[in-house]
Structure 1
């Protein structure tokens, strides 16, 4: 079964583009593609569609692969960008890789094309997964922060050494302070300034260290 893929080809030779497509189809890809050969056409194509990967020649009459890569970066797009060229010397290859290209393949050396495409697509998907996870984590943190700030119960986080890390407004008000910062600045030794019996704090820390959780633990402040 073929894998669908949307490819933007930056190339001035249709014959070379068709050779590239033939290799991709042989490699098991069902290709939807578009070919552009000017900065203006590339700019429009980047705005018009979502592309899984960009395959670019290095040297063309209207512009080159470096400019194509720059246009992609200016759009803020995270799309794998592979240079396919018959005239790319080592110095230029190093230059464009440093500029942010994913890889380069010499025209005719098609054995490298499919592995390079497969690798870059996998890495692009991994980056998307990480970004999705980061967004979900940020949302979860924001939900927690909202609950923390608006709760009517006193909530705080503290370090094992006995200092406040964060305090919610209700906690500060319960102890007679106008703001959480005032409480944090006033109480710097939680075991002795907050607990009625400082040994209770040690019992709490011991339970966390040995079982990793607390259940039904009570302390008097």
Structure 2
């Protein structure tokens, strides 16, 4: 699907890894575009790698409801379908047990398809859609693999633990005893990330790229 005649409606986010915009196609359809053409030369390879990873993750969940659908990927621009809704931090699902039950089912479907999202600690990656259903976006860090493999099961548990952290924040009274135990159990992946990966991530984003993640709400203005 080509969207060469598309026009930008508004910018949703712009950082060192590309510009994300809400677009209108020649046929009037609205979609989201990640454009890498203005990425600095020294960041083009990691930006391309992240976009390619997102395209692979979206291809794996093609046809699944309440996640973006891949429209096009040509190595420079990634187009995906637009879902109307608000980020979790913009429309908090306080006390909304049906939301979190549906979110868990959505996560289980994602994992059955062989995808671990790997970035669900960010509230910005959870949507509250117009009718209150959960949606999941931003597959840049998604991992695709055999859902029965030990590695994928470990990543799936981390996805679940991040969802339960949000449930603890907004719907604590409905946490089950099993869910409380899951929250207390930290994997070696999580511990390794906090000891090694996260300090490097903070140095790169805050010192080199000059932006902060702002607890999953995107770069600060």
TM-score normalised to structure 2 length: 0.21
Larger relative contact order, structure 1 or 2 (CA cutoff 8 Å, min sep 6): 2
- Specify which structure has the higher proportion of strand: 2
- Whichever of the two has the greater Rg, that structure is 1
